[in-house]
Amino acid sequence: MNGEYYIGCLCVIPSYQKKGIGTQAIKYI
């Protein structure tokens, strides 16, 4: 389960970075 969740994060983070909030998302991780 953790592996799938981690892979999902890798897919989601780049999308957030495009919006300029990737830095904030990384802080929560």
Chain Cα centroid distance, residue 10? 5
pLDDT at 29 over 60: no
Residues 6-27 pLDDT 10s: 656 665 666 656 666 556 655 6
Range of the domain at 25: 1-29
Report the number of distinct structural domains present in the chain: 1
**Residues 22 and 16 sit within 8 Å (Cβ to Cβ):** yes
The answer, as to whether pTM is greater than 0.85, is: no
Q: Could you give the angle at the alpha carbon of 15 between the alpha carbons of 14 and 19, nearest 5°?
A: 110
